[in-house]
């Protein structure tokens, strides 16, 4: 039951392939749903992990995304709304040997389950969280979600939503998440890379995936997923590399004190040497990166970052628990039930 944490790009769990991780159940998302791509990319990742299917568990709450476990030929629990992190926590604490994945959505994780996701992040269990963000309630057929932009007209906001949306990555970082990343369904190659990174990180990995709901919120992420706009709206992060974007990487981001600003590299004023160099381990800069959250439907705005925003090595919760269990056995030996029941003071009636 050992799990190896190395991804060497080859199939190490026998001769399994992506299709071996597909269950025999018919996939029932709407045609054209972004979930299909994500499912395919996760199934593609599985053979690379070197973990046998019986040692993998997918845990979900409620929502379109939360049907995910039914389609994976691994162990799986489809739980109740918002509680997947809680179920996964009990599983991982009691079975640290398992590879545990939580699949959730913007409503499941950030609205009804908000209290659980923040505590999962601060505790830092080695659990991989895939948050499918489509900025809408899909399964209940089109109400605004905690990530819907202000003004969005939905069935429950006919005059436009007045709710101020969450910035999921700021929330995750604020909750002390140790791995924070963003991907999009329409860039499967990059998604595959981030899924690998998510798996590799030891600790709670929080991967937000922009996922298109073709029925109730189509094209919500058009500015990023539309290839004609992507260059100017999306910032692909690479560790140790300057922040570059735009057609032919004509633009960069530099820091004016603590304030990020766009640097036009063609203008002659700035060169690549002036730019912000991405450092995944720099918490302060990670914070600034999460705040790059402009409405990119308008031109001239700061681009939105995709990739690994922050990655920090710190002990996992289950390891700290295991250490205490080991220490307890070392200190007291195997528990003696008779002594425990007897307690400190007894008397005998003859």
Return residues touching another protein (CB under 8 A).
1, 23, 25, 52-60, 62, 69-70, 72-80, 83, 85-95, 97-98, 115-116, 119, 321, 324-325, 328-329, 331-335, 337-338, 340-350
Q: Which is nearer to another protein, 93 or 215 (CB)?
A: 93
Q: Which is nearer to another protein, 24 or 273 (CB)?
A: 24
Q: Which is nearer to another protein, 175 or 183 (CB)?
A: 175
Q: Which is nearer to another protein, 49 or 86 (CB)?
A: 86
> In the 3-class helix/strand/coil scheme, how is 73-89 assigned residue by residue?
CCEEEECCCCCHHHHHH
- Measured from the CB of residue 81, what is the shortest distance to another protein in angstroms? 8
- Measured from the CB of residue 176, what is the shortest distance to another protein in angstroms? 14
- Measured from the CB of residue 1, what is the shortest distance to another protein in angstroms? 5
Task: Of 140, 68, 152, 153, give the one whose Cα is nearest residue 107.
Answer: 140
CA dihedral 153, 229, 134, 130 (to 10 degrees): -160
- Measured from the CB of residue 41, what is the shortest distance to another protein in angstroms? 20
- Measured from the CB of residue 221, what is the shortest distance to another protein in angstroms? 29
- Measured from the CB of residue 22, what is the shortest distance to another protein in angstroms? 12
Q: Which is nearer to another protein, 273 or 345 (CB)?
A: 345
Q: Which is nearer to another protein, 125 or 194 (CB)?
A: 125
- Measured from the CB of residue 37, what is the shortest distance to another protein in angstroms? 21
Task: Label residue 328 exposed, middle or buried (CB < 10 Å: 0-12, 13-18, 19+).
Answer: exposed
Q: Which is nearer to another protein, 73 or 200 (CB)?
A: 73
Rg of the chain in Å (alpha carbons): 23
Task: Of 174, 117, 168, give the one whose Cα is nearest residue 146.
Answer: 168
First to last CA, the chain: 52
Q: Report d(CA 147, CA 167) in Å as an integer.
A: 7
Exposure of 48 in the CB half-sphere (CA atoms within 13 A): 16
**Cα-based angle 257, 262, 267 (whole degrees, multiple of 5):** 115
What is residue 21's DSSP assignment?
Answer: G
Spatial CB neighbours of 291, under 8 Å, sequence gap ≥ 6: 167, 170
Q: Which is nearer to another protein, 150 or 322 (CB)?
A: 322
Rounded to 5 degrees, φ, ψ at 74 are: -135, -170
- Measured from the CB of residue 95, what is the shortest distance to another protein in angstroms? 4
């Amino acid at each position: 039951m050992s799990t190896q944490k190395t991804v060497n790009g080859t199939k190490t769990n026998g001769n399994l392939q992506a299709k071996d991780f597909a269950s025999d159940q018919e996939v029932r998302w709407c045609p054209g749903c972004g979930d299909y791509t994500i499912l395919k990319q996760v199934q593609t990742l599985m053979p690379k992990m070197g973990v046998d299917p019986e040692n993998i568990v997918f845990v979900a709450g409620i929502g379109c995304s939360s049907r995910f476990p039914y389609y994976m030929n691994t162990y799986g629990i489809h739980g109740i709304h918002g509680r997947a992190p809680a179920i996964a926590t009990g599983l991982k604490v009691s079975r640290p040997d398992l590879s545990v994945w939580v699949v959730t959505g913007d409503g499941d994780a950030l609205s009804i389950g908000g209290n659980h996701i923040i505590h999962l992040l601060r505790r830092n269990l080695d659990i991989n969280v895939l948050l499918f963000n489509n900025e809408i309630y899909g399964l209940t057929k089109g109400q605004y979600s905690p990530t819907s932009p202000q003004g969005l007209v939905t069935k429950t906001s006919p005059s436009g939503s007045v709710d101020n949306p969450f910035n999921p990555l700021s929330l995750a970082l604020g909750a002390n998440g140790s791995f924070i990343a963003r991907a999009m369904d329409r860039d499967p190659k990059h998604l595959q890379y981030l899924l690998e990174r998510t798996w590799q990180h030891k600790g709670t990995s929080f991967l937000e995936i922009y996922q298109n709901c073709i029925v109730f919120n189509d094209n919500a992420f058009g500015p990023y997923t539309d290839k004609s706009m992507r260059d100017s709206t999306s910032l692909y992060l690479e560790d140790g590399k300057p922040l570059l974007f735009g057609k032919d990487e004509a633009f960069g981001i530099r820091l004016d004190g603590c304030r990020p600003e766009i640097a036009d590299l063609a203008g002659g004023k700035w060169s690549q040497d002036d730019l912000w160099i991405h450092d995944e381990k720099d918490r302060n800069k990670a914070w600034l990166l999460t705040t790059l959250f402009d409405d990119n439907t308008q031109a001239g705005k700061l681009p939105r970052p995709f990739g690994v925003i922050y990655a920090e090595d710190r002990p996992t919760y289950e390891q700290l628990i295991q250490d205490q269990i080991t220490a307890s056995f070392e200190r007291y030996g195997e528990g003696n039930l008779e002594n425990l029941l007897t307690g400190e003071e007894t008397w005998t009636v003859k």
